[in-house]
Amino acid sequence: METVYLSSAYLAPIAYYSKLLAYDTIYIERYDHYMKQTYRNRCNIAGPGGILPLSIPTVKPESLKCQMKDIQLSDHGNWRHLHWNAIESAYNHTPFFEYYKDDLAPFYEKKYTYLFDFNEELRKLICEWIDITPNVKYTSTYQTEFADSEHDFREIIHPKRNIAQEDPKFRAVPYYQVFEARHGFLPNLSIIDLVFNMGPESLLVLQN
């Protein structure tokens, strides 16, 4: 029985979802110290101009060591409207956006209090889309020591790290992308890039 530890993530990248599929038990971390410029509050999508990062503003924590479970969403910058417009602009011409968009749109209308809850509700929706049922649990403490059957990817799946170097088990499998003719294949984008382009075949890509 293999276990993996992951951070919370906003519309997490494909490497993250490959772990949800590959491991027997998944622990999503609630007690790590929140850090900006990670997938906790950002994702990368493919827009007409190339990779487009979307970042959620958060309420500035009172302490530098604020735990992820306590991080609150900010309304600053009308980000819900901006993110939805960016997603719609990027994926409106993909084969499956029309099919899934009505499920996703309410997340950019309803106001969530906590980033962790927002991320998790999105993850559950996407698991339904892909038709996977990972055995997800949540941490009760911050663990620093691991058994041989436990694998810590909390900081390895990170926008500033080369996942191919850090994780030899992950290989980016090319799939159809609507802007591929302009930019070439862009690996390990947000899971929504895979789903909107490939629909039900997303699971096959993850399995590979």
User: In the predicted model, is pLDDT for residue 16 greater than 80?
Assistant: yes
Question: Which residues lie across from 174 on neighbouring strands?
Answer: none
> Which residues lie closer than 8 Å to 137 by C-beta, 6 or more apart?
25, 26, 27, 28
The reported pLDDT for the residue numbered 141 is 96
Local confidence band at 169 (pLDDT 50, 70, 90 cut-offs): confident
CA distances from 155 to 26, 150, 151, 160, 166 (A): 15, 15, 11, 10, 10
The reported pLDDT for the residue numbered 115 is 97
Local confidence band at 65 (pLDDT 50, 70, 90 cut-offs): confident
Say how many domains are in the chain: 1
User: In the predicted model, is pLDDT for residue 26 greater than 80?
Assistant: yes
Compute the average pLDDT of residues 57-81: 90
Outline where 36-111 has alpha helix (H).
79-91, 97-104
The string of pLDDT tens digits covering residues 104-135 is 999 999 999 999 999 999 999 999 999 999 99
User: In the predicted model, is pLDDT for residue 50 greater than 90?
Assistant: yes
Domain that holds residue 184: 3-207
- Residues of the chain with pLDDT > 70, as a percent, come to 100
User: In the predicted model, is pLDDT for residue 68 greater than 90?
Assistant: yes
DSSP state of 93: T
Question: Which residues lie across from 53 on neighbouring strands?
Answer: 44
User: In the predicted model, is pLDDT for residue 164 greater than 70?
Assistant: no
The string of pLDDT tens digits covering residues 170-188 is 899 999 999 999 999 999 9
User: Would you say 29 and 139 are in contact if contact means Cβ atoms under 8 Å apart?
Assistant: yes
> Which residues lie closer than 8 Å to 167 by C-beta, 6 or more apart?
15, 153, 156, 157
Compute the average pLDDT of residues 52-77: 91
Higher pLDDT, 89 or 36: 89
The reported pLDDT for the residue numbered 62 is 77
What is the distance between the alpha carbons of residues 9 and 2, in angstroms, rounded to a whole number?
21
- Angle, to 10 degrees, between the axis of helix 191-198 and the axis of helix 115-130? 30
